[in-house]
Amino acid sequence: MEEFNVGVIGCGYVGLVTGACMAHLGHRVACVDRDEGRVAQLSAGRVQIYEPDLDALVGRNVREGRLSFAGSGGLARVVRESDVVFVAVGTPPGEDGSADLSSVAAVARGIGEALAKSTAPRSVPLIVVNKSTVPVGSGDHVSMLIREGAGNRGEDLDFRVVSSPEFLREGSAVYDSLFPDRIVVGGDSREALDRLRELYEPVVQQTFPSGLDPRPKTTVPFVTTDLASAEMIKYAANAFLATKISFINEISNLCELVGADVSSVAYGIGLDERIGPRFLGAGIGWGGSCFPKDIAALRSTARERGHDPVLLDAAVAVNEGQRRRVISKLQDDLGTLEGKRVALLGLAFKPNTDDLREAPSLEIARALDARGARAAGYDPVAGKAAARLAPALSVVFDPYEALAGAHAAVLVTEWEEIRNLDPARMARVMEPPKLLVDGRNAMDPAAAREAGLLYRGFGRG
């Protein structure tokens, strides 16, 4: 296997996982982040985000000298020494829903400046791989910014921009990076795409040491396309998955009206291979750092070009409706929420992550506060961060403490620990009517009722 010198700019969920996995494949990786505190922690082998297997991977590769970290001051050196530089900085939603590209722009200009300043000529062009989710067409924009950063040397620079969207799921990011369903790269330089194929060879052929056996895959499809299509693949994938969830939520609301059980319906339709069983969980809907912002950006791209994205609009409307249904389900059994105590079980936007960006829990906590209810929340890992983000929420560090004296509980995030709470103990510590709104249909309704809880799921009795 050919070893590459890899640079990664941005050490968040995507950048850090990409860097650690590239090092695990045997490449030499230098990561840059503007957050100096984060860099200091990472250099000492300490990982600031919660992601299964990431600690061990970072620690081992730092110790073995294949993975290093630097602050923004190290950008020029990393660019100079790398064959490939990944850009993995954040692209949060701006006021109008379109993606805020200021971090990507700052990094692109920095790369241009570094290339312009480097005195030694490159034997092969630098490949800049954009992993940040940027609107369709941004690949060209990144090239322009790199040239802009180089000032009057802009036209002499030797680099190629490739888009390689990231599909990892928070909560299983390391696993998804080593065993992806596909790798997508898009660009107009055949040479650059071929070089990336070599960089990813150990993943494509699944020849790297795993440690996560049994190895689930034998080979991984490597999709090459043009820039715009690669960027669109990312948006289309997320929009499809979010729409699939909104679809089952629409069906779930109809199930409630006709007395059907959405769990059976989802199972029944999911067995059709054209549909598939995943992303058919009815409940309080999607959130997190990707779906809301990517769909907002795609809708905004559509509107900028005079197209009305009716299906995407509907997916968002259904999702917003699901949050309101949590509140109406509470009101149906509690009457007014004024003065009522409500426990939120799980706060992260999904299990196995500490990420609270666009987490339904925060929205529900705000809605409860606005109606005069008092909310206590518990999460196995996201509690501390939630306490900072939701001042009205009293965060506790034991689920039964959140439930003590609560008139109702909302199961928000289906962590294993929360699915396995003991309904009898829940009922013992709660106050009547001991309502459980199961926002993820994660508990057994019969067992909950038998224990004395007033169980309300989504799309089922």
Catalytic residues: 290
Q: Which of residues 83-112 bind ligand NAD (CB under 6 A)?
A: 88-91, 103, 106-107
Q: Which residues pair with 185 in a beta bridge?
A: 224
The single residue among 7, 15, 93, 380 that binds ligand NAD, judged by CB under 6 A, is: 15
Q: Dig out the tokens for 81 from the structure.
A: 């020494």
The single residue among 33, 83, 250, 438 that binds ligand NAD, judged by CB under 6 A, is: 33
Q: Which of residues 282-301 bind ligand NAD (CB under 6 A)?
A: 289-290
Q: CA-CA distance, 64 to 225, in Å (whole number)?
A: 35
Residue 138: what residue type? S
Taking a C-beta distance cutoff of 8 angstroms, is the pair 230, 164 a contact? yes
- Interface segment toward ligand NAD; rule CB under 6 A; list 118-126, 165-173, 312-320, 434-442: 165-173
What x-and-dash track marks residues 240-279 binding ligand NAD by CB under 6 A? ----------------------------------------
354 contacts ligand NAD (rule: CB under 6 A): no
Report the candidate in 351, 348, 411, 357 with the shortest Cα–Cα distance to residue 382: 348
The single residue among 35, 53, 81, 401 that binds ligand NAD, judged by CB under 6 A, is: 35
Comparing CB distances to ligand NAD, the nearer of 34 and 407 is 34
What x-and-dash track marks residues 115-134 binding ligand NAD by CB under 6 A? ----------------xxx-
Alpha-carbon distance values, 393 to 174, 367, 377, 417, 431 (Å): 32, 11, 7, 21, 19
- Specify burial of residue 72 (Cβ count, 10 A radius: 0-12, 13-18, 19+): middle
Q: CA-CA distance, 201 to 205, in Å (whole number)?
A: 6
Comparing CB distances to ligand NAD, the nearer of 15 and 383 is 15
Size of the site for ligand NAD (CB under 6 A): 28
Q: CA-CA distance, 187 to 207, in Å (whole number)?
A: 26
* Dihedrals phi, psi of 86, to nearest 5 degrees: -90, 135
Report in angstroms how near the CB of residue 402 gets to ligand NAD at its nearest: 27
SS3 417: helix
SS3 314: helix
Comparing CB distances to ligand NAD, the nearer of 177 and 441 is 177
* Dihedrals phi, psi of 89, to nearest 5 degrees: -90, 165
The single residue among 83, 113, 170, 363 that binds ligand NAD, judged by CB under 6 A, is: 170
Using CB under 6 A, list all residues that contact ligand NAD. Answer: 9-15, 32-35, 38, 72, 88-91, 103, 106-107, 131-133, 166, 168, 170, 289-290
